[in-house]
Amino acid sequence: MSRIGKALIKLPAGVEVKVSTGNLVTVKGPKGELTQQLDVDITLEVIDGNVQLNRPTEQKRHKALHGLYRSLVNNMVTGVTTGYKKRQELVGVGYKATNEGNILDLTLGYSHHIYFEIPKELTVKTEQDKGKNPIITLEGTDKQLIGQVAAKIRSLRAPEPYKGKGIKFEGETLRRKAGKTASK
């Protein structure tokens, strides 16, 4: 962890980092603004277009927090400059996904539709091409929020190990099991 914490974060043009009272870090960029509360022991300095995080001692706790907060601040800088994107694929006969604004309408083989509200900080797009599996695309600046929402959507119908039906991340390799005929 300490090696990660010692690495400098290079600030791209147009990105501004401020530390206010109570160790609240605000990162502003072309795509938006993000805030993160740092631990009281970790200090943040902006030196010559680079962000450096420092820890007071070599305690195990301080080393762990040093790496953690360096990664979180780096994710914030990346989020406000390029943003983050997650794509999910619906695998299964009759599985559908449509959206009206930030309301996601899912048909996942249950007796009813599932309506899922996406937070206003994120944008959602759905694609449904003939002959291909439906795709849900989440975009935004907050990596943590995108991951949390994507995990919640996946939990509505997690991929099962026999046929692979369910909601999976694009490019994800599922661990498959042989059915009962494989034992003969």
Which domains can be identified in the chain, with CATH numbers? 2-81 (3.90.930.12), 84-169 (3.90.930.12)
pLDDT tens per residue, range 54-100: 999 989 999 899 999 999 999 999 999 999 999 999 999 999 999 99
Give pTM, 2 decimals.
Answer: 0.88
CB count, 10 Å around CB of 51? 22
* Nearest Cα residue to 133 out of 86, 93, 84: 93
CB 119 within 8 A of CB 149: yes
Q: What does the pLDDT look like over 38-49, one tens digit per residue?
A: 999 899 999 988
